[in-house]
């Protein structure tokens, strides 16, 4: 049986035309393999997100790998202390490109209520972050929304060679350290 | 359970300078630094306090009525008789050295390292007195009261990984 020809493109109907970038983005966004960097209570919600009730597999991101070499999405769930930060940076550097990072919860994003000498006040001071998920802890729905938004972002601005990562607006600025006064001092 | 009267009397008989008190069923003995090790050795060897529950410390800086700055706390228990006793020892700067009790209870190893890490109390004779919780390059003792809650910038002393470098 002959395949009809598309009058606009002149190609058979079973041939689709796209940009290579879009094709690569489509593959990448639907097979995000998370690296669960779960250091505190947010990690429990992260586990719930991966479990059957919320089922992250629906979005192609259920393959949690504990080896950074096999991951392309780092989910930092929980507070990061200064002894853990070099570990976090090492793991981030071990992940192959292209890679993305979700900062899950108030602690990973800002230090949360733990404004003490050993807790890093936001991982985005030291590693690049693509998506922030607010909440303490965020519900699994929120994390899933974060992953969907990240998928949108990958589809929108991703390139085959990853040159969007070199854009100036993707470089995090060094944040000024604003110390809040402590009550009673 | 408080310490048995025989234990308290034995301590008092041997260490005349020990000050004993009881509060809500808990026995507390204040030992001068000179006789601290002997008293712990006596309790371990003769009175059967075979369990060292914890070693910790309190910083009494700016605390009302406090004379010495640091108060070491040794919590001991006798598993056989369920007796419990608290030994306290007060120290003041600049000499923050006490003998290590790792030779009496092997479990004192990590507890003494923690007290060293957080308060800077030096345990003489400890086999491996390193920091246990904080990174090795840390220089302050953060549970001292004159250490700021938010630290002195240690938590932001890291290289920044930029997107195009990583
Ligand atoms: S944001 Fe809340 S739930 Fe998450 S790690 Fe911090 S304290 Fe725990």
Half-sphere exposure of A51 (CA within 13 A, CB side): 8
Q: Is residue A8 part of a domain?
A: no
**Could you tell me which of B1, B18, B24, B15 has the C-alpha nearest to residue B85?**
B1
Q: Is residue A7 part of a domain?
A: no
Q: Is residue A92 part of a domain?
A: yes
Name the one residue in this structure whose structure tokens are 């690569």.
A24
Structure tokens at A141: 């729905």
Q: What is the CA radius of gyration of chain B?
A: 19
Q: Is residue A85 part of a domain?
A: yes
Query: Is pLDDT above 70 for A184?
Result: no
Is the distance from the beta carbon of residue A22 to the nearest atom of ligand 1 less than 6 Å?
Answer: no
The reported pLDDT for the residue numbered B119 is 94
Instruction: Report pLDDT digits (tens) over B24-46.
Output: 889 999 999 999 999 999 999 99
Domain that holds residue A91: 20-171
Query: Is pLDDT above 70 for A174?
Result: no
Contact of A55 with chain B, judged by CB distance below 8 Å, is answered with no
Judging contacts by C-beta atoms under 8 Å, the chain A residues touching residue B133 are: 83
Fold of the domain spanning B5-165:
Beta Polymerase; domain 2 (3.30.460)
Distance from CA of B148 to the nearest CA of A (A): 8
The reported pLDDT for the residue numbered A176 is 61
Mean pLDDT of A53-70: 89
Total domains in the fold of chain A: 1
Structure tokens at B55: 């070693």
Grouping H, G, I as helix, E, B as strand and the rest as coil, residue B77 is strand
* ipTM of predicted assembly, 2 dp: 0.80
Query: Is pLDDT above 60 for B17?
Result: yes
Q: Is residue A117 part of a domain?
A: yes
Minimal-distance CA residue to ligand 1 atom 8: A41
Residue A98's CATH number = 3.40.50.12280
Distance from CA of A168 to the nearest CA of B (A): 9
Q: Where are the domains of chain B?
A: 5-165
Grouping H, G, I as helix, E, B as strand and the rest as coil, residue A63 is coil
CA distances from B67 to A92, B28, B111 (A): 50, 18, 25
Query: Is pLDDT above 60 for A106?
Result: yes
For B165, which DSSP code?
Answer: T
What CA–CA distance (Å, rounded) separates B20 from B27?
A: 7
The pTM of the full predicted model, rounded to 2 decimals, is 0.84
């Amino acid at each position: 049986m002959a395949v009809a020809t598309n009058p606009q493109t002149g190609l058979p109907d079973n041939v689709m035309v796209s940009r290579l970038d879009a094709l690569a983005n489509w593959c990448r966004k639907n097979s995000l393999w998370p690296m669960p960097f779960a250091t505190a209570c947010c990690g429990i919600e992260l586990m719930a997100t991966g479990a059957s009730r919320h089922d992250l597999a629906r979005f192609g991101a259920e393959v949690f790998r504990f080896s950074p070499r096999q991951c392309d999405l780092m989910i930092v769930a929980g507070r990061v202390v200064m002894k853990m930060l070099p570990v976090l940076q090492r793991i981030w550097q071990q992940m192959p490109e292209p890679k993305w990072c979700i900062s899950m919860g108030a602690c990973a994003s800002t230090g949360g209520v733990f404004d003490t000498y050993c807790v890093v006040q936001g991982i985005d001071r030291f590693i690049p972050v693509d998506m922030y998920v607010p909440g303490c802890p965020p519900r699994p729905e929120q994390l899933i929304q974060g992953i969907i938004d990240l998928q949108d972002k990958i589809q929108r601005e991703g390139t085959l060679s990853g040159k969007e990562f070199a854009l100036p607006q993707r470089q995090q600025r060094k944040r000024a350290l604003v110390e809040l006064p402590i009550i009673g001092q | 359970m408080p310490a048995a009267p025989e234990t308290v009397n034995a301590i008092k008989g041997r260490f005349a300078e020990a000050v004993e008190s009881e509060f809500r069923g808990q026995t507390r003995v204040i030992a001068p630094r000179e006789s601290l090790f002997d008293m712990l050795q006596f309790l371990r060897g003769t009175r059967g306090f075979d369990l060292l529950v914890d070693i910790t410390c309190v910083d009494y800086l700016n605390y009302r009525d406090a004379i010495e700055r640091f108060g070491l706390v040794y919590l001991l228990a006798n598993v056989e008789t369920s007796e419990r006793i608290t030994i306290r020892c007060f120290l003041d700067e600049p000499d923050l050295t006490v003998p290590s009790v790792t030779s009496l209870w092997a479990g004192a190893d990590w507890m003494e390292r923690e007290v060293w890490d957080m308060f800077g109390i030096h345990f003489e004779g400890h086999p491996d007195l390193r920091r246990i919780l904080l990174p090795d390059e840390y220089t302050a003792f953060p549970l001292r009261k004159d250490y700021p809650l938010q630290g002195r910038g240690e938590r932001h002393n890291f290289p920044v990984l930029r997107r195009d470098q990583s």
